[in-house]
């Protein structure tokens, strides 16, 4: 019996040992598997993190490289904005100076606003300037604030400078009225927003060659371009050009007055200073044609007509179509000291006279012409009514404005003028 128990116990012990070994094996296996899984999982996380970090670094390096290359790429690719047709001219300051070319940025992209007025007088021995000086001596005593603003806002403002700037010389003998102004008065032109003046008139030579040459030098020093007079005929006939944005505009000035073989106001020659005379219009027409070849728009500011007559005289009617056919795009007149009508020759507007702008103590209707140009040419033409009274020129409103516009309608039977002064249509086909 005892031996049987021992056998049984040995068998039972073996079975127990076998179970313990299996459990240990299973435990080791599970621990090993767990370690392998944890190592694999850790490796995967580390690998993924490393790869993503490397990818992020590579992406950052690529972005940095591209950023560095952006200026080179921009410089290499052509600009989307077309180059100005006058870029070469604008880049050559010497050429611009030699050819009297000036540049301005337009107040409105793609458009140019031009403003024109008639005769001014800065002589302090006459009523308008003497009165302004008594009141304080600034342009605010001569022009209303809104009128000044309208002049200053134009891209280019032009008027007729009917006197020399000089404190020297001798007045011409036997001439009823002789004018001159102190050279410092060019400050007024700047305050008024004036960009260019016409000297082609019958008072520029009132104090002889001394007065004329002083005037040319004074305006040059003040950086105010002038047309219509010069040290010789070449200068007197030469246009002034403005490049505003992508539009090049030529300005030419000439005078018919006085209509004599030997006028008081000397015409310039090859050797003598003087004004650009056009009693014979041949040279004026030649100058217009040449300017048209190198410009988008040509303006002729002409001194003509009969004083204090609202109707055009025969010489105005004779020359206007010739100047238009020569290539002018707009003709502006002065000298009669009163308003005259507006008409067209072909597609060319002719403003026969803008009258006195600020010239005398008389009460007189006046105004300005405002023109808007774009790349296609004339976009709008507007007459802006004003009044010179008590030595002050002011814009008009309401019934007074309507009355002056109605006067211009009566003087201009071949065109239509709306209530704001815009010239809408031609009523007669040429």
| pLDDT on residue 122 | 98
What domain count does the chain have? 2
Considering the domain architecture, whether residues 1 and 37 belong to the same structural domain is answered as yes
The reported pLDDT for the residue numbered 43 is 57
157 shares its domain with 124:
yes
Q: Is residue 239 part of a domain?
A: yes
**Do 179 and 66 fall into the same domain?**
no
Residue 25 inside a domain? The answer is yes
Dist. CA 253–CA 299, nearest whole Å:
8
Question: For every one of its 430 residues, what pLDDT tens digit does the chain have, with 9 covering 90 and above?
Answer: 445 555 445 555 555 555 566 666 666 667 776 767 666 656 565 555 555 555 555 566 654 665 565 555 444 455 555 678 999 999 999 999 999 999 999 999 999 999 999 999 999 999 999 999 999 999 999 999 999 999 999 999 999 999 999 999 999 998 999 999 999 999 999 999 999 999 999 999 999 999 999 999 999 999 999 999 999 999 999 999 999 999 999 999 999 999 988 899 999 999 999 999 999 999 999 999 999 999 999 999 999 999 999 999 999 999 999 999 999 999 999 999 999 999 999 999 999 999 999 999 999 999 999 999 999 999 999 999 999 999 999 999 999 999 999 999 999 999 999 999 999 866 544 3
Give me the residues paired with residue 415 across strands. Answer: 426
Please tell me the predicted confidence (pLDDT) of residue 4: 53
Cβ neighbours of 404 (radius 10 Å): 20
* CA 99 to chain CA mean position, Å: 19
How many CB atoms sit inside 10 A of residue 428's CB? 9
CA atoms within 13 A on the CB side of 142: 23
Residues near 221 by Cβ (< 8 Å), separated by ≥ 6? 186
* Same domain, yes or no: 91 and 59: no
Q: What is the CATH number of the domain that holds 342?
A: 3.60.21.10
Burial of 41 (0-12, 13-18, 19+ CB in 10 A): exposed
| Whole-number Å distance between alpha carbons of 202 and 118 | 14
- The answer to whether 373 touches 112, Cβ cutoff 8 Å, is yes
Q: Is residue 35 part of a domain?
A: yes
Sole residue written with tokens 């690998």: 47
Cβ-contact 287, 239 below 8 angstroms: yes
Instruction: Report the sign of the C-alpha dihedral through residues 121, 170, 213, 222, in that order.
Output: negative
Range of the domain at 122: 87-426
| Residue 259 located in a structural domain | yes
Single residue among 57, 77, 97 that ends a domain in this structure: 77
Residues 322, 179 within the same domain = yes
pLDDT of residue 429: 45
Query: 289 CB contacts (<8 Å, ≥6 apart)?
Result: 326, 327
Residues 72, 127, single domain; the answer is no
Q: How far apart, in whole angstroms, are the C-alpha atoms of residue 217 and residue 220? A: 5
Contact of 129 with 375, CB cutoff 8 Å: no
Q: In DSSP terms, which residues pair with 331 in a beta bridge?
A: 300, 350
Choosing from 20, 48, 77, the residue where a domain stops is 77
CB distance 139 to 192 below 8 Å? yes
Residue 192 in any domain: the answer is: yes
Residues 157 and 137 in one domain: yes
**Residue 57's pLDDT is what?**
57
Q: Distances in Å between the alpha carbon of 146 and those of 41, 121, 135, 157, 324?
A: 83, 20, 19, 15, 33
Q: Which residues contact 98 (CB under 8 A, 6 or more apart)?
A: none
CA distances, 122 to each of 133, 301, 340 (Å): 10, 20, 24
Flag whether 220 is in a domain: yes
Antiparallel, parallel or unpaired: β 247-255 and 240-244: antiparallel
Give yes or no for a contact between 167 and 182, defined as CB atoms under 8 angstroms apart.
yes
Report how far residue 339's alpha carbon sits from residue 310's, in angstroms, rounded to the nearest whole number.
6
207: nearest Cα among 149, 242, 164: 164
Question: Does residue 312 sit within a domain?
Answer: yes
| Co-location of 121 and 255 in the same domain | yes
- Partners of 380 in beta bridges: 372
Tokens of 362: 């008389």
Strands (E), 162-210: 196-198
Residues 6+ apart with CB under 8 A from 16: none
Q: Are 174 and 53 within one domain?
A: no
Among candidate residues 77, 109, 142, the one where a domain is terminated? 77
- For residue 82, is it within any domain? no
- Do 217 and 269 fall within a single domain? yes
3-state secondary structure of 42: helix
Q: At what angle do helices 314-326 and 282-293 cross, to 10 degrees?
A: 30
Judge if 115 and 16 occupy the same domain.
no
Backbone angles phi, psi at 87, to 5 degrees: -60, -40
Q: Quick one: 42 and 104 in the same domain?
A: no
């Amino acid at each position: 019996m005892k031996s049987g128990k021992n056998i049984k116990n040995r068998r039972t012990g073996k079975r127990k040992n076998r179970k313990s070994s299996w459990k240990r094996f299973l435990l080791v296996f599970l621990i090993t598997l767990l370690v392998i899984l944890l190592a694999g999982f850790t490796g995967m996380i580390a690998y993924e993190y490393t790869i993503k970090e490397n990818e992020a670094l590579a992406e950052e390096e690529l972005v940095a490289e591209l950023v560095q290359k952006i200026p080179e790429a921009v410089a290499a690719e052509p600009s989307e904005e077309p180059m100005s047709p006058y870029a070469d001219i604008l880049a050559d300051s010497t050429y611009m100076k030699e050819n009297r070319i000036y540049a301005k940025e337009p107040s409105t992209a793609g458009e140019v606003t031009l403003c024109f007025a008639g005769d001014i007088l800065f002589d302090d021995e006459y009523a308008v300037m003497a009165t302004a000086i008594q009141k304080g001596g600034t342009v605010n005593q001569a022009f209303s604030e809104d009128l000044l603003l309208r002049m200053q806002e134009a891209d280019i403002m032009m008027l007729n400078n009917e006197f020399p700037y000089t404190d020297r010389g001798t007045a011409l003998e036997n001439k009823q009225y002789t004018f001159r102004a102190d050279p410092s008065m060019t400050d007024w032109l700047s305050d008024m927003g004036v960009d260019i003046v016409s000297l082609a008139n019958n008072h520029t030579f009132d104090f002889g060659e001394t007065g004329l040459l002083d005037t040319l030098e004074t305006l040059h020093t003040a950086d105010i371009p002038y047309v219509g007079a010069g040290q010789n005929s070449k200068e007197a006939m030469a246009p002034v050009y403005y490049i505003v944005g992508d539009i090049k505009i030529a300005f030419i000035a000439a005078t018919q007055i006085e209509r004599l073989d030997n006028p008081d106001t000397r015409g310039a020659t090859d050797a003598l200073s003087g004004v650009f005379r056009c009693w014979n219009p041949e040279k004026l027409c030649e100058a217009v044609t040449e300017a048209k070849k190198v410009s988008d728009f040509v303006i002729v500011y002409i001194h003509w007509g009969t004083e204090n007559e609202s109707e055009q005289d025969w010489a105005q009617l004779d020359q206007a179509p010739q100047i238009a056919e020569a290539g002018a795009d707009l003709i502006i007149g002065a000298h009669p000291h009163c308003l005259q009508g507006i008409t067209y020759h072909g597609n060319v507007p002719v403003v026969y006279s803008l009258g006195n702008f600020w010239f005398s103590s008389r009460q007189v209707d006046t105004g300005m012409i405002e023109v808007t140009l774009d790349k296609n040419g004339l976009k709008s033409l507007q007459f802006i009514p004003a009044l010179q009274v008590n030595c002050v020129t002011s814009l008009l409103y309401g019934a007074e404005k309507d009355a002056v516009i109605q006067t211009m309608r009566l003087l201009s039977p071949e065109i239509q003028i709306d209530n704001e002064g815009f010239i809408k249509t031609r009523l007669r086909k040429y």
